[in-house]
Structure 1
Amino acid sequence: MIVLFVIVIILALIYLDDKLGEYFYKKKKEKIVYPERQSDLSFFINGTHLFADYFAEIRKATHHIHILFYIVKTDEISQQFFQLLKQKAEEGVRVRLLVDWVGSFGLPKKLIRSLKESGIEFAYAHKPRFPFFFYRLNRRNHRKITVIDGKIGYIGGFNIGKEYVGQDPKFGEWRDYHLKIVGEGVGDLQMQFCRDWKEATNTSIVEDQYFPPLQKGTVSHQFVATNGYLLEQQFIDFIRQAKKELIIGSPYFIPSSAVMNALLDALSRGVKVTILVPLKADHLFVKEAAYPYFYRLLKAGAHIYRFYQGFYHAKTMVIDEDCCDIGTTNFDKRSFFLNSEINCYIYDRNFVQQVKEAIRHDLARSEPLTLDFWKKRTLWQRGKESISTLLSAWL
């Protein structure tokens, strides 16, 4: 009885910590909408191609390298990454590396010490602390931003690790979408990195040398950064804008009630809704958590596909022929209400067609989910769905 009483008290304290933290942070909710910009964008869907380009640009850096990732592993790909950063720091390039505390929890202290000894400035984002320890623990900086010499930027879904270049047999081919930005939009990525760096280190990066003059490119786009709570409405607005077609790609599909209602409303007014998710799961329960939503959407006429070629990790939304979103946001409650995210909204028909072509290629290697399949789920699968539904806000 004493043990049970202690467990109940601990759970009650965790619940209270979570609710008080949520109340406190709701008052600090923030949405940073950067101006519409013109830049040249390169679109990557393959980790090998991305990192070949990414490492080549880092090698050419002469002034500074600013990097933020959610996950950085300690495998052979990561070692190449660390060695390259050390080399640049030793050459006199200012290197700042910011990683999420939970996402990159496995980084050894010895490794971090060696990075700092080589001249790299290293910091953890969203490191939990009191008060509201458990609530802070549940909030993540999920952004992936790189800025090189203030002139070249990267943003998207890839992290640093062997699975992202298809070298993990558990996942096979890794499908993700990432952008390289050259042009005036890079200044906004730099500004967002500076904001995140200051939050993590309480140190400002304000020198003009980090913000060189930038030329306009050919593609109209806009960055929007969120720290929970305000992203839900942005996605609802996009769904409501769709007149003919809406495509959603995400590794996780756990929408809020309001977002779900917006999707059902879009279907009711004749919008073709296509959803692409992975067949495999990389986290416990996230796959099962999506099925109750899938059932309602399938009944309403949505088309749902599961990518079987490897693991689908892209985060994208395409609205008709006019606009698409590529960024770090998953289509789930964690991204909507907890994580720090950044998205790039692209308003260019030619680029949208390029994204749609990549999606069509991924759909060709996916299987449709049907109501008949859903009805034949086993008792074990239904049980996992029930548990997943209870945990959906934290998955």
Structure 2
Amino acid sequence: MSLIILVAEILGVISAVDAVMKTRTSQGAIAWAVSLVTFPYVAVPLYWVLGRSEFHGYVQAHRIADLALDPAIEESVAVLEQYVLERPPGPYPAAAAERLAAIPTTHANSVQLLVDGEETFASIEEGIASAQEYILFQFFIVKDDELGRRLQQALIAKAREGVRVSFLYDEVGSHALPRRYKDELREAGAEVYNFHTRQGPRNRFQINFRNHRKVVVVDGRTAWVGGHNVGDEYMGKSPKFGYWRDTHVRIDGPAVLAAQLSFVEDWNWATGRLPQVDWVPDPAPDGADMPVLILPTGPADEFESAALMFTHAISSARERIWIASPYFVPDEGIMSALQLAALRGVDVRILIPDVADHMLVYLAAFTYFDDARKAGVQFYKYTGGFLHQKAVLIDDLAAGVGTANFDNRSFRLNFEITALVGDPGFIDEVDRMFESDFAQSRIVGPDEYSGRPFWFRLAARVARLTAPIQ
């Protein structure tokens, strides 16, 4: 028994050193190190399953994919260059975002704002029906319910027509998706794979990473990106939540190729090969000229791209920064950026749900209210149903819609994707969307956290301690 105790303590110390050296945030490193040394029997296995901060293998697969894609992409570079947005003289606000994306902002795009499930999936189904060559279909959650079966049958119909269908899902998010659902797609000729987070000898216990992206691409001409997953609750049919507030965008134009590249890299990781796709950019058919930057982010990036994206947006704001997210668990750097923005007179508003779907992140959010409110940050809690959208509005310069939540998981552990749009008409539309949501929300008051009973405040503080692995 003494030998077992000694081995556990040694493993705890070794793991604590590893956590201090590799964990990306100081609070995460401290939390893991203390737990590993104090409770090694429980903390050591948890750390090696949940404590990883680097996604091994994807970077190498990404580089191999880039080499394989070079000939195809080189053919379209000359055509794409005419759609790259010309930088104005002087400081360029989007420069940092473009470097994070490793993709330029393009113009000649058309972007349609899709509010809630009915509008979103009607648009996606219309796109699927119009496909002539291929469909790239990727979601974090796919359910075998009314909506899931409807989309499955639409994909099966196109596959039987000879359209190439590539179906990618996250094995954790879609853990309940039955084999029958996938087999029926395969029998029709579709290729179906999970993201396969744990492949490779170093990744057997790599289950804390998720591919949270939701991307649909049709024929390389049209793409959909946003917060909806495939499930009846996203159509407002949840018995628990009722109305489900979410947002997607449809994109036509050269920016579609950036969304397609994100899918192709994920597909290459999951399958070890590249799908057959078209890399020739086309301008939006309606003649629109919207600037769009597609920003994929994830744990395989050189930088913490999602966290830096939000920090850059907050730091760049001069008049307003409005953020909508179902979860609000920022790190210290982003929290400081929000406070500084409010202190310099920026209208900082955070829109979050008034009801919880994940209790830990719901409780943790309460602990940030008082410090943020002191600086002038305003919190709105949406009361019209469950708010699941991920959107940001920066002055009158840019609006973003995507998959990234305002929490550590999206900042550091999830693969995400965001569409940033710099068109005045689209920004006005997002402005009206936010105002409508604020009108269906309540403003968080000074007693929202401090006025709660002790047991609630204690639970919230404990929940905040788990933020690095939420």
Fold agreement, TM-score > 0.5: yes
Structure 2 partner of 1:85 = 155
How far, CA to CA, are the matches of 2:189 and 2:55 in structure 1?
37
**Equivalent of 2:53 in 22, 30, 35:** 22
Deviations 1:102-143 (A, max 9, x none): 111111122222221111100111432452444x21111111
**Letter matched to residue 32 of structure 1:** A
Shift of 1:32: 3.3
How far, CA to CA, are the matches of 1:357 and 1:213 in structure 2?
31
Deviations 1:90-112 (A, max 9, x none): 11111010011111111112222
Q: In structure 2, do the counterparts of structure 1 residues 238 and 92 end up closer, same or farther at CA, with 3 Å as the change threshold?
A: same
**Equivalent of 2:219 in 149, 152, 173:** 149
How far, CA to CA, are the matches of 1:292 and 1:10 in structure 2?
27
Partners of 2:339 and 2:376 within 8 A in 1: no
How far, CA to CA, are the matches of 2:142 and 2:329 in structure 1?
25
Q: After the TM superposition, which segments of 4 or more aligned residues of structure 1 sit over 6 Å from their partners?
A: 4-7
Q: In structure 2, do the counterparts of structure 1 residues 242 and 375 end up closer, same or farther at CA, with 3 Å as the change threshold?
A: same
Residue 215 in structure 1 maps to residue 215 in structure 2: no
Structure 2 partner of 1:59 = 129
- Counterparts of 1:217-256 in structure 2 under 5 Å? 217-228=288-299, 229-256=304-331
Structure 1 partner of 2:250 = 180
Shift of 1:285: 1.3
How far, CA to CA, are the matches of 1:182 and 1:24 in structure 2?
32
**Letter matched to residue 294 of structure 2:** F
Partners of 2:220 and 2:257 within 8 A in 1: yes
- Counterparts of 1:296-375 in structure 2 under 5 Å? 296-375=371-450
Partners of 1:151 and 1:212 within 8 A in 2: no
Q: In structure 2, do the counterparts of structure 1 residues 116 and 231 end up closer, same or farther at CA, with 3 Å as the change threshold?
A: same
- CA RMSD in angstroms, aligned pairs only: 2.2
How far, CA to CA, are the matches of 1:142 and 1:105 in structure 2?
13
Matched residues, number: 390
Structure 2 partner of 1:37 = 106
Structure 2 partner of 1:112 = 182
Residue 94 in structure 1 maps to residue 169 in structure 2: no
Give structure 2 stretches of 5+ with no counterpart: 9-38, 63-99
Structure 1 partner of 2:228 = 158
Q: In structure 2, do the counterparts of structure 1 residues 163 and 231 end up closer, same or farther at CA, with 3 Å as the change threshold?
A: same
Deviations 1:269-304 (A, max 9, x none): 111111100001111211111111122111221111
Deviations 1:350-381 (A, max 9, x none): 21111010010011010111112322212332
**Letter matched to residue 132 of structure 2:** T
How far, CA to CA, are the matches of 2:417 and 2:183 in structure 1?
29
Higher CA-based Rg: 2
Residue 345 of structure 2: SS of its match in structure 1?
coil
**Letter matched to residue 343 of structure 1:** T
Shift of 1:346: 1.1
Deviates more, 1:10-19 or 1:60-69: 10-19
Structure 1 partner of 2:44 = 12
Partners of 1:299 and 1:371 within 8 A in 2: no
Shift of 1:17: 5.3
Partners of 2:324 and 2:351 within 8 A in 1: yes
Partners of 2:310 and 2:334 within 8 A in 1: yes
Partners of 2:340 and 2:375 within 8 A in 1: no
Shift of 1:213: 4.0
Structure 1 partner of 2:363 = 288
Normalized against structure 2, the TM-score is what?
0.79
Deviations 1:198-246 (A, max 9, x none): 01111113x4x52344015321110111113222122111111111111
Shift of 1:18: 4.7
Q: In structure 2, do the counterparts of structure 1 residues 306 and 85 end up closer, same or farther at CA, with 3 Å as the change threshold?
A: same
The structure that is strand-richer by fraction is: 1
Residue 390 in structure 1 maps to residue 465 in structure 2: yes
Task: Report % sequence identity.
Answer: 34
Partners of 2:197 and 2:203 within 8 A in 1: no
Deviates more, 1:228-237 or 1:256-265: 228-237
